[in-house]
Structure 1
Amino acid sequence: MIHIKAFYNTLPELENKELSKIHNEIFDTNESLNDKFLSKNKIIILVAYKESTIVGYKIGYEIDCSTFYSWLGGVEKNNRNHGIAQMLMDKQISILKSKGYEKIQTKTFNKWKSMLILNIKNDFQIKNCYPDKNDLAIILEKDLK
Structure 2
Amino acid sequence: MLNIQIEAHTELTAELAEKIALLTAQISELDRAQTIESIEQRLSNKTSLILLTYVEGELAGFKLGYQIEAHCFYSWLGGVVADFRNIGLAKSMLEYQEKWAAAQGFSRLEVKTRNQYKAMLNMLVANQYQITQVESHSNIAKNKLHLQKSL
Q: What TM-score comes out, normalization by structure 1 length?
A: 0.90
Identity across matched positions, percent: 29
> Using the alignment, how far apart are the partners of 1:116 and 1:76 within structure 2?
18
2:24 — aligned with what? 23
1:7 — aligned with what? 9
- Partner residue of 1:141 out of 136, 139, 148: 148
Coordinate RMSD, CA, aligned: 1.7
Q: Does the aligned pair in 2 maintain the 1:68–1:105 contact within 8 Å? A: yes
Q: Deviation string for 1:55-91 (max 9, x for gaps)?
A: 0111011011200000100101000000000110111
Q: CA deviation at 1:16?
A: 2.9
> Using the alignment, how far apart are the partners of 1:121 and 1:71 within structure 2?
19
The answer to whether 1:71 aligns with 2:76 is yes
The 1:98–1:35 alpha-carbon spacing in structure 2 relative to 1, beyond 3 Å, is same
> Using the alignment, how far apart are the partners of 1:19 and 1:108 within structure 2?
19
Counterpart code for 1:4: I
Unaligned runs of 5+ in 1: none
The range that moved more, 1-10 or 102-111, is 1-10
The 1:28–1:64 alpha-carbon spacing in structure 2 relative to 1, beyond 3 Å, is closer
Q: CA deviation at 1:23?
A: 1.1
- Partner residue of 1:47 out of 38, 43, 52: 52
Q: Does the aligned pair in 1 maintain the 2:79–2:90 contact within 8 Å? A: yes
1:81 — aligned with what? 86
1:128 — aligned with what? 133
Q: Does the aligned pair in 1 maintain the 2:74–2:111 contact within 8 Å? A: yes
Q: Does the aligned pair in 2 maintain the 1:56–1:76 contact within 8 Å? A: yes
2:39 — aligned with what? 36
Counterpart code for 2:25: N
Structure that is richer in strand per residue = 1
Q: Does the aligned pair in 1 maintain the 2:109–2:149 contact within 8 Å? A: yes
Q: Does the aligned pair in 1 maintain the 2:6–2:53 contact within 8 Å? A: yes
Counterpart code for 1:116: L
